[in-house]
């Protein structure tokens, strides 16, 4: 098995002020480089890195609304952020409780295929379940076959509806 295909030990935790820079690096690379995100970014009203910075500051100031989940690995005594995703809380009338909205799932270049995404979302599901969250909702670009396979392996199921947005 090649080094790139080997699974690695991953630990996950919410972003703090001390780890904001790592979250910004990973999420910034995703938002400026993912072809599937970029295909919809105009409809989202993407505000670039300034908007990302404002959002990260809001997650620090308002943890009741959500958090950035960061995946870490330690190699040679050095801790490295290798993945991140955004989690927001919402109330679901169909579940009668809190659900989570998952966005911007990103694994750092060179770390894909090594179990980072699976470990990150598995640990996230455990944490959310312990908090009483009843469901994780996400969206996936229709043309992103690799992401669809990943989400299906993680237990997500299509809802046969389309996510839509209106800028206000």
**With 90 as the cut, is the pLDDT of residue 6 above it?**
no
Q: Which residue has the tokens 């009843």?
A: 134
* 45-64 tens-digit pLDDT: 999 999 999 999 999 999 99
State the chain's mean pLDDT as an integer.
Answer: 93
* 99-153 tens-digit pLDDT: 999 999 999 999 999 999 999 999 999 999 999 999 999 999 989 999 999 999 9
Helix (H/G/I), strand (E/B), else coil: 26:
helix
Beta bridge partners of 74: 79
DSSP codes, 90-102: EEETTTTEEEEEE
Domains of the chain, first to last: 9-153 (3.40.630.30)
The residue-averaged pLDDT of 17-41 equals 94
**With 80 as the cut, is the pLDDT of residue 5 above it?**
no
Nearest to 20 by CA among 47, 48, 60, 73: 60
């Amino acid at each position: 098995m090649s080094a790139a295909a080997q699974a690695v030990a991953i630990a996950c935790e919410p972003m703090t002020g001390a780890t904001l820079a790592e979250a910004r690096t990973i999420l910034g690379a995703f938002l400026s480089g993912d072809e599937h995100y970029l295909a919809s970014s105009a409809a989202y009203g993407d505000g670039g890195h300034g908007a990302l910075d404002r959002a990260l500051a809001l997650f620090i100031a308002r943890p009741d609304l959500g958090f950035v989940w960061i995946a870490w690995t330690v190699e040679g005594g050095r801790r490295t952020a290798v993945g991140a995703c955004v989690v927001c809380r919402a109330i679901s009338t169909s579940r009668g409780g809190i659900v989570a909205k998952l966005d911007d799932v990103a694994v750092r270049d060179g770390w894909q295929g090594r179990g980072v995404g699976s470990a990150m979302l598995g640990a996230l599901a455990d944490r959310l379940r312990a908090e009483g969250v009843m469901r994780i909702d996400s969206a996936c670009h229709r043309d992103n076959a690799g992401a669809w396979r990943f989400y299906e392996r993680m237990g997500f199921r299509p809802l046969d509806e389309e996510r839509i947005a209106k800028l206000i």
